[in-house]
């Protein structure tokens, strides 16, 4: 699988769309998550898509020993960090409480997995796009 310019951009756009849905689901499910405006949803999803595509792989390599020692819990902590980053950048987006971060991260991961599985089904089962958001 190669990361050509068009393929990488398409994967970020796909990840952005999937993360928009994921953030809407999280906002609906958790009373301690508040995303007040559409601009905040769009901005937060964009930060998640870009951070998951660029920043998270770099951090995963740098923290690989910790991820191995914690049997993957360190990788989950990176997912929580990506959500915190999206909250920090997007205006009118707040997550209150540590357990809400954990629950919201789990929901975002599940929504990403389901939507990427469905979208892969439309592509004839091929994995032509880099997975973003997991």
* Tens-place pLDDT, residues 8-32: 888 889 999 999 999 999 999 999 9
User: How far, in Å, CA of 71 to CA of 65, rounded?
Assistant: 10
Predicted TM-score of the model (pTM): 0.84
pLDDT along the chain (134 residues), means of 10: 69 93 97 95 95 95 97 96 96 95 97 93 56 48
When the pLDDT of each residue in the chain is averaged and rounded to a whole number, the result is 89
Query: H-helix or E-strand containing 49?
Result: helix 38-50
Note the maximum CA span of the chain: 41
For residues 134 and 118, give the distance between their C-alpha atoms in angstroms, rounded to a whole number. Answer: 15
- Contact, 45 vs 75, CB < 8 A? no
| Angle, vertex CA 64, rays to CA 62 and CA 70, nearest 5 | 135
């Amino acid at each position: 699988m190669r990361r050509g310019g068009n393929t990488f951009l398409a994967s970020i756009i796909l990840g952005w769309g999937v993360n928009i849905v994921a953030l809407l689901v999280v906002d609906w499910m958790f009373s301690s998550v508040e995303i007040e405006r559409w601009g905040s949803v769009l901005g937060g999803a964009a930060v998640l898509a870009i951070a998951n595509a660029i920043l998270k792989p770099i951090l995963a390599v740098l923290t690989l020993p910790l991820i191995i020692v914690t049997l993957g819990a360190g990788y989950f902590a990176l997912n929580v960090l990506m959500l915190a980053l999206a909250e920090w950048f997007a205006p009118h987006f707040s997550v209150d409480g540590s357990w809400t971060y954990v629950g919201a991260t789990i929901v975002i991961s599940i929504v990403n997995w389901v939507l990427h599985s469905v979208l892969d089904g439309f592509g004839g089962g091929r994995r032509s796009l880099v997975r973003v958001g997991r």
